[in-house]
Chains A and B, each alone.
Chain A
Amino acid sequence: MIDDVYVIGVGMHPFQRVSPPMRDMAYTAGKAALDDAGIKFRDVGELYNGYLGGNLLEGISYAKDFGLNNASITHVENASATGSTAFREAVRAVRSGDCEIAMALGFDDMMKMGMSMMKMMSGEAPKIDSIILPAGFFAMWATRRMYEQGTTVETFAKIAAKNWNHARFNPYAQRQSKTEVTVEEILASSPVAYPHTSKMACAAGGGAACAIVTTKKMAQKLANGRPLVKVIGSQSKSEHYTDGHIFMGAVVGPADLTTRTTQALYEQSGVGPKDVSFVHVHDAFPIEELMYYELMGFCGEGEGDRLVAEGATSLGGRIPFSPDGGLIARGHPGGPTGLAQVWDTVTQLRGEAGKRQVEGARNGMVHMMGAGSICVMHMLQKEG
C-alpha cells in the first residue's frame, strides 16, 4: 500500500465543445486547485503537465503564469491516460520523498487537434499502421459482445443515458442536458459506427483539471476541517500477449489489460470490489463500461447486463459508475480527463458532490486507458 500521499487540492475548468485558449483553461484549473489546497505555487516542488495537443513549449510556458518557483516541471503524455499518468508521477514524486508537494495539471482542446485528422481524410496518403477511428474499434467489442452474450443495443443506450443524466449534476460537464435524457433519444442520435450512435460516443472538446498531492503531515496542516483523502494505490501497465492479440490498428489492447491492472491495484491497496464505493472508468463508449463491470470483478462474466437492468451502476445504486457523467457526458479532452476523475473522486470522498453525491463514499477507484496501449488506475480513500 502507498503510505503517505494525500490529495489536498483539486480544480477544474469546464469541459466544453468550444473552448477558450488552453493557457486560460490551464490557469483556471491550476489556480482553483492551489486555492482549494490553501497553498501558493511557490510551495510546489514538482509540476507534471499532461497534454496531447499543444506544442513542445506549451506546458512549461503556462507554468510561468503561476509563478517562477524553481520547481521541477515535466511534460507527460500517455494518450488518453495522460492526466492519470501525470497524477501517478505526482504521487511518485511525493512518495519517493523528492518533494513535499506535487501538482498534476492536465489541459487539452481536442477540437483543435481534430484538424490533423481532417487533413488525413482530405487525400494525403495515410499510413497503413495507424489506429482506426476509436468509435469503430470499440464498436467491434460491442458487436462481439452482442454475438457472445446477447447484449442488446438498448443496454448500451441505457448506460449512455445513465451517464448523460449523471452529468446533469456536474457543473463542469460538457454535456449538461436541461431535461432527462432517455434511451430513445440515445438510440435516435446519428449513427457513428454500428452499434454506436453519436450520443453514445464520448464528448469531444476542451477543458482542464488539476490535482495536488502531499504528505500526511502537510495534508493534516492544510485540511481545514475537511476529511483527508489518501492515495492508497497507483498502477500502470502495458499490454501482455493474449490469444487473438491485435498488433496493428487496434486503439487499445486486450481486455486482459484492465483485469491485470485492477488486480494489481486491489492487491496493492488492500481494497477489493466489495469495498469500492464508486468507479470512474474509460467509458469512451458504453460497451467499455459494461465490460469493465465484469473485468473489474463487480459481477461475473456475462452478468453486466443484469447490473444495468437493475440500475446497480446508477447514482443511488449498489456501485455507481461514472458519477460525474464519465467520458460520454462529462467529456474527454485527452490531457485532463484522468484528473477530472480525480476531481470528482475527491469531491465525493469529502462529501461535497451535491446532487451526485454517493452516500457513504469511502473508496473511489479511477481507471483510464491510453491508446497503444496503457492502463493507469488509482484507488483513493477517505481517511477517518
Chain B
Amino acid sequence: MPKKPLEEGYFVIHDDGSSALLGSYSKAADHYYFPIRKQCPITEEPVETVELPTEGILYSWTYIHMPVMGATEMGYGGHGVGQIDLPNGVRVQANITGKEGDWKIGMKMKLDLQPVIKKGETEYCTFCFSPA
C-alpha cells in the first residue's frame, strides 16, 4: 500500500520506501534543528533544509497508557514515546515502537514509519523510532 506523510514538511518518504526527517541547518550557528525552522533560533540568520540522520541514541522514554493518535487505525492499549539524540546534536521526541520493557536509555534507535490513517488506497504515516 502506498505510504505518504500525514503532513508535509516534517519528513520525506523516498521512492525506495526509505525515509528521513527534514530539519534545518544554520551555517551561522553551525547547528541543526528539527523540525524545519523559518530562521536560525540562535542567530536569526537564514537556514537551509536538510535531511537528518536516521539513527540516534535513546535519551529517555515512557510508556503512555492511552492509545496512540489515530486510535481507530492503531488499535488500543498504550504506546511508547521517546526522546532520541541524533549524532548532529538534534533531539527528537517521537513515538517509539515496542512494548514496555523493550527500551533502555542509551540504546540505538532507527527512524521508522507509523501508519495513522487510511484514505482510499493510501496509508498516511507519521514518523517514529524503533530499536535498531
Interface residues of A (CB under 8 A from B): 120-123, 125-129, 132-133, 135-137, 139-144, 147, 190-195, 241, 243-250
Contacts and interface: CB of A to CB of B under 8 A. Distances in A.
B94 interface: yes
B59 A144 contact: yes
Contact of B92 (A135, A139, A246): A246
Given A140-B62, A143-B105, A193-B62, A129 B91 contact: no
Interface string B81-97: 11101000101111000
Contacts, number: 97
B62 A243 contact: no
Given A121-B71, A125-B70, A192 B65 contact: yes
Contacts of B127: 128
A242 B122 CA distance: 39
Given A126-B116, A128-B10, A143 B64 contact: no
Contacts of B72: 122-123
Given A193-B64, A241-B41, A250 B93 contact: yes
Given A144-B59, A247-B34, A248-B35, A132 B93 contact: yes
Contact of A144 (B37, B41, B105): B105
Contacts of A126: 69-70, 116
B85 to A, nearest CB: 7
A243 B89 CA distance: 7
Interface of B: 6-7, 10, 33-35, 37, 41-42, 59-67, 69-73, 81-83, 85, 89, 91-94, 100, 105, 116-117, 124, 126-127
B62 A143 contact: yes
**Nearest 8 interchain pairs by C-beta:** A139-B62, A123-B72, A249-B93, A140-B60, A144-B60, A244-B91, A126-B69, A136-B64
Contact of A125 (B35, B83, B117): B117
Contacts of B117: 123, 125
A222 to B, nearest CB: 46
Nearest to B91: A244
A328 B74 CA distance: 31
A320 B79 CA distance: 36
A190 B81 CA distance: 19
A132 B83 CA distance: 12
Nearest to A192: B65
Contacts of A245: 33, 91
B28 to A, nearest CB: 13
A145 B81 CA distance: 16
18 contacts: A123-B73, A125-B6, A125-B117, A126-B70, A127-B7, A128-B10, A128-B127, A137-B93, A143-B105, A144-B105, A147-B60, A191-B65, A192-B64, A194-B62, A244-B59, A244-B91, A246-B83, A246-B93
Given A129-B35, A133-B64, A246-B83, 20 more contacts: A123-B73, A126-B116, A128-B126, A129-B7, A136-B62, A136-B81, A140-B81, A143-B62, A144-B59, A191-B65, A193-B62, A193-B64, A194-B100, A244-B59, A245-B33, A246-B92, A247-B34, A247-B35, A249-B94, A250-B93
A24 B97 CA distance: 46
Nearest to B66: A133
A247 B26 CA distance: 15
Contact of A193 (B34, B65, B73, B126): B65
Nearest to B101: A194
Nearest to A117: B66
A143 B69 contact: no
A205 B117 CA distance: 32
A125 B123 CA distance: 12
B33 A247 contact: yes
